[in-house]
Each structure stands twice: as structure tokens, then as C-alpha cells.
Amino acid sequence: MDGLTTDTPAMDKLDLRDLSFEELERFVGDELGEKPYRARQLFRWLYRRNARAFAEMTDLKEELRERLEARCTIEPLPIAAVHRSADGTEKLQLALKDGGAVEAVLIPGDDRLTLCVSSQVGCAMGCAFCYTGSLKLSRNLTCAEIVDQYRQALHHLGGKAERISNVVLMGMGEPLANFDAVAKAVNLLMDDRGYDLSGRRVTVSTCGIAPRLKDLAEQTDASLAVSLNATTDTTRSLLMPINRKHPLAELMRALEAFPLARRKRILFEYVLLAGVNDTDEDARRLVKLARRISCKVNLIPYNPHGASDFARPSDERILAFQKILLDAGVTAFIRQSRGQDIYGACGMLGRGARRPDSTARIS
Ligand code: SAH
Ligand code: SF4
């Protein structure tokens, strides 16, 4: 007797999306007494066919489905609201069991649709320019809650996996401060028995927890983005408290040691703040840092949000900064700010609804 009945509250049930494939295989064999191929079937239903209930898994015998139902859960995080921006960006607000909410953002580009996923509720890193940082950390997300953002975004898009071209862990939170859940979730998304996303299509962004980069490289094939945001320790420590613990020299050494597949480059994110980190000297120092590794640079003009009083540089300054990088042979893009009107842009997550005409539904 396992003591679990169909009345077991969902919170006490084992969430199958918290298990790696190997853990699922062990559970199916040891706990359910089923053959290993059942684990592959379950995995495929979860991470290829995006099943939302055991009842959908029609090639599992009914008796097994009932046992799964009694002991396990795959219940999706309810979509509490969808906020749609004038530029096509959509922010999904997903309700968490403990009453909080987490946000995932779908960002359309010319030939791509990027899903920006959160890893924590709030963030403990306290970067001076970031709205999420001003919220402080409420808690880590579980692996299931991270993976479900992708599953629910797919569902929202009518189940068409090919529509999401890239997944970036650039939403709320610092992924490397919730390392185990993030690494497991990334590996679930990339597993070729499931959604089979390639390492080029999944990017983990960090504020620079240098010692964790090695773990990320060893345990996943995800691409790496680093929020650099400044070129001297003085400025970086003012903007990003993590720099006091892991200064630029240590971060750069860790990046130089980060193994890259051929053609795969590290992405440097650089928030441009007027009068703080946007001078010609900053750009020239950025060139020097960028030349040390195989990378490209994303310049992100500051998105204003009320919890900090930085300013976006003028368009002229932004272009002049980019030109210094380009002239020195450094690939540099200016990231269009998408979804600002729904608080869906970089560093603005955590505020929920903004627009009166946003649609809300429970799914
Ligand atoms: N914690 C991780 C993942 C979040 S990504 C990290 O910091 O990398 C969020 C990105 O948005 C980071 O590159 C951050 O530097 C940037 N950002 C934060 N606040 C911003 C703001 N107000 N305007 C523009 N970019 C911002
Ligand atoms: Fe956290 Fe990233 Fe925001 Fe810094 S920029 S507070 S690390 S979410």
C-alpha cells in the first residue's frame, strides 16, 4: 500500500516535470513496476506532444493512467493573464500554487519567435537598474515551473513547437542562483527524446556568478549570455553588487575557460545608461574585453521603470557607441525594446498587468 489515493492534493503528488529522463525511468521501473519503454512513452507525451493530462496519453493502459493520476501531477500552471503589446510581444502571467505569479514573454522578431523564461520569483542580485531586482527574491522556481513556461507558451500558440525558435532564460531571476533546477529544466527542453531544442536555441543569461560557469558548461549544452553592463570594476560594482564578489578579472577568466562549440559565441549584454557607462572610453574598453573571447554584444538601451532613475542615452550616443565596436570588428547589435508598454521588456518583469486593454483568461 502506498497510502496515496486519488484524493491526494496535487501539491503532495510527485511532479513528473521535476524528474530528469533517468529519474523518470527509475520511478517508472522501481515505483510503478513498469517496463522502461513506458518512461519513454511518458516522456514523449510530456515533452513532444505537450500533453496536459494523463487522460490524453491514450497509448498507456487505463490502469496505469489511473495509478499515475493518483500519485503524480503534470497539471499546467494556469495562464492567469495574457498581456499583449502594440509591437506584438505577449507576456503570459502564470499562476503559481502558492499564490505568486511568474512571467514568460513571447517576443516576435523578423524571422524568429523568442520565448523569455523566468527562473526565480524576483531576484536577490540587486542590480541598480533592474525592476525585477528591486522586488528582492521571493523564491526559486522549481524545474517543473521553469519547463511549464515553455509548455504553456506552446499551448498558447496552439501546440506548434516549430513556432518558438529560441528560448532565453532572461526573465525574472538569476538562473545560476537556482542552478540545479535551471540545469535540469534546460536539459529537459534539449533532450532529443522530447522537445529536442538545440544548444544554439537555448540561452542562459547570468549577471556573472563566475564559479558557476564551469558547472553550466559541464552539465548542459546551453548557450551563454553574460550581463556585462560596465567595463571597470568601479562602475560595475556600483551597478551590480555581484561584481564585488566576482570582479571583472575573475569573470573574464571564467569566460575564457568556457568551452564553446565551433561558431557558438558568448553573448555580452550591455545596458546603456546615460552618463554612467556610455562614453567612448567605455566602448573602447568593451572592445578590449570582447576581443578576449569569441562573442557578440547586445546593446540594450535602458528601459525606464520608476524603481530607478537612470536615463536612456540619446539615439546619437547609442549609435556612436555601437560604431566604435563595429569599427573595431566586434559584432554589436542594438536590442530593440519590445513590450515596454506591457512591462515585458528587459529588466521590467514582475509588475504584472499594465495596459487596460490586456486580455485575461484562465487556461
Ligand atoms: N539575471 C540574469 C537574467 C535576466 S536577463 C541576468 O541579469 O543576466 C535581464 C537582462 O535585462 C539583463 O541583461 C539585464 O542587464 C537587463 N536589464 C535589467 N534591467 C534593465 C533595464 N531597466 N533596461 C534594460 N535592460 C535591463
Ligand atoms: Fe537579477 Fe538579472 Fe535583474 Fe540583476 S539584471 S537584478 S541579476 S534579474
The pLDDT tens digits for 36-45 are: 999 999 999 9
pLDDT of amino acid 353 = 44
Q: What is the pLDDT of residues 173-197, one digit of tens each?
A: 999 999 999 999 999 999 999 999 9
pTM of the model: 0.93
Cβ–Cβ < 8 Å for 153, 189 = no
| pLDDT tens digits along 211-234 | 999 999 999 999 999 999 999 999
Which of 149-153, 160-164, 272-276 bottoms out in mean pLDDT, i.e. has the lowest? 160-164
Cα angle: 218, vertex 220, 150; to 5 degrees: 160
224 lines ligand 1 (CB under 6 A): no
| Mutation pick for ligand 2 pocket among 117, 129, 132, 170 (CB with most ligand atoms within 8 Å) | 132
Average pLDDT over residues 249-253: 98
Contacts of 158 (CB under 8 A, 6+ apart): none
111 φψ region: left (φ > 0), alpha (ψ -120 to 50), beta (else): alpha
Q: How many CB atoms lie within 10 A of CB 350?
A: 25
Taking the centre of ligand 2 as the mean of its atom positions, its distance from the CA of residue 271, in whole angstroms, is 12
Distance in Å, CA 303 to ligand 1 centroid = 10
| Cα R_g (the chain), whole angstroms | 21
Across residues 269-276, what is the average pLDDT?
98
List 103, 145, 174, 269, catalytic entry: 103
Q: What CA–CA distance (Å, rounded) separates 72 from 70?
A: 6
Q: Average pLDDT, stretch 8-20?
A: 83
Confidence of residue 362 (pLDDT cuts 50, 70, 90): very low
CA dihedral 93, 119, 155, 44 (to 10 degrees): -160
Residues contacting 89, CB < 8 A, separation 6+? 105, 106, 107, 108, 338, 339, 342, 344, 345
Q: Which of 8-12, 25-29, 182-186 has the lowest mean pLDDT?
A: 8-12
- Neighbouring C-beta atoms of residue 56, cutoff 10 Å: 13
Strands (E), 85-136: 90-95, 101-108, 113-116, 120-122
Residue 9 has a pLDDT of 53
The whole-number pLDDT of residue 351 equals 65
Walk me through the domains of the chain, giving residue ranges and CATH numbers. 14-73 (1.10.150.530), 79-362 (3.20.20.70)
